[in-house]
Amino acid sequence: MFPVTHSVLSQRALAADVVPSYVSAPAECRLLVKGMNDTYLVLAERKRFILRVYRHGHRTLADIRHEIDLLQHVYEGGGKVAVPIVRRDGDYLTELSAPEGTRYAAMFTYAPGASRPLTQEMAALYGKAAAELHRAMEMFRSEHERYRIDTRYLLDDGTPSIIPLLTHRDEDRAFVQRLWRFLRERLDTMSPSLKQGLCHGDLNGGNCHIDDEGQVTFFDFDCEGLGWQAYDLAVFNWSVRDRPDRELALKLWQTYLDAYGREMHIGEADYAAIPYFVAARQLWLVGLHCRHADEWTYGYLTDAYFDRRLKLLRDLVREQGWPV
């Protein structure tokens, strides 16, 4: 068999051979999102479910079981999350033999409500819910080890993949290398004074549904891990920075931050660290895209792509007065 980077599993086969391990009724399965993992919408028992098929090699089995344990912990404590569904044999995961190697599948409840445009009202709901989620995760423990959200994860794993794609942009290549070193030194220095705990890892204003009563239900915990509270906060700041209306972006960020702060204390050191984590998040994302270009294609890693992504970093360096 010719080597495969990432396969897309048949939705019909998943409906016939995997879904019945979780629900008894005949099911329809539709590919919803093809991303880091593959996400399918399952229609069965007059309900909607989500089936995730994890990418081969992206997460270890222990990583995935940690995520399942975390969701169960938050749900049992009254938190609003999409809940993993147990198989008939008592396990949560289905092992699948794919062309590229072993992949795992898990099924989840469908979060009530829908995705909503990010208004100030929604930002307030999101900030409050994010704080409640952090509180719900504080006492979590699992027998399964999971990777940490640290400087290696945010900076060192991905940034080396950016450099070779900037060979024709000498100034940008040097800038990325300087910023990489600067952020690593600063975060290593600040780390002992920062609050650590379980992070969702992708609280970007999405990854949730909101119902008509304003109840927020989070999902997609694939990026969860032990890390810094300030990083989880910074992801929202990062997500609104790309908006063309800078005034609105600042209002959304402040609304989110105020709502979060009314529920959970944000220390001075954590607040001061947020801009550094915004920059780290951007390097992490660009590094992720470059590392997986053999599958997601090099075609979109154009000069326009790097212009846009590096502008956020240069603007941030200028705003903060960093010596980069």
Pairing of the two strands 208-210 and 216-218: antiparallel
What pLDDT digit, counting tens, does each position of 251-267 carry? 999 999 999 999 999 99
Helix (H, G, I), strand (E, B), or coil: what is residue 78? coil
Q: What single string gives the DSSP state of each residue in 243-267?
A: -S-HHHHHHHHHHHHHHHHHHS---
Calculated CA dihedral for residues 283, 287, 289, 290, nearest 10 degrees: 140
Over residues 57-72, the pLDDT tens digits come to 999 999 999 999 999 9
Which pLDDT band, with edges at 50, 70 and 90, does 234 fall under?
Answer: very high
Which H or E run includes 218? Answer: strand 216-218
The pLDDT, as a whole number, for residue 158 is 97
Q: Give the mean pLDDT of 119-125.
A: 97
Q: Is the pLDDT of residue 45 over 90?
A: no
In the DSSP assignment, the letter for residue 82 is: P
**CB-based contact 135:263 (threshold 8 Å):** yes
Residue 181: per-residue pLDDT = 98
Report pLDDT for 283: 98
Q: Are 82 and 111 in contact (CB under 8 A)?
A: yes
Inter-CA distances, 145 with 36, 62, 129, 141, 207, Å:
21, 6, 26, 10, 24
Give the other-Cβ count within 10 Å of 111's Cβ: 24
Q: What is the pLDDT of residue 143?
A: 97
Distances (CA, A) of 142 to 2, 72, 226, 229, 322: 39, 11, 12, 19, 39
Question: In 3D, which of 46, 65, 52 has the Cα closest to residue 18?
Answer: 52
Structural domains in the chain?
Answer: 11-109 (3.30.200.20), 120-320 (3.90.1200.10)
What integer is the mean pLDDT of 230-234? Answer: 98
Q: Strand, helix or coil at 106? A: strand
pLDDT above 90 (res 314): yes
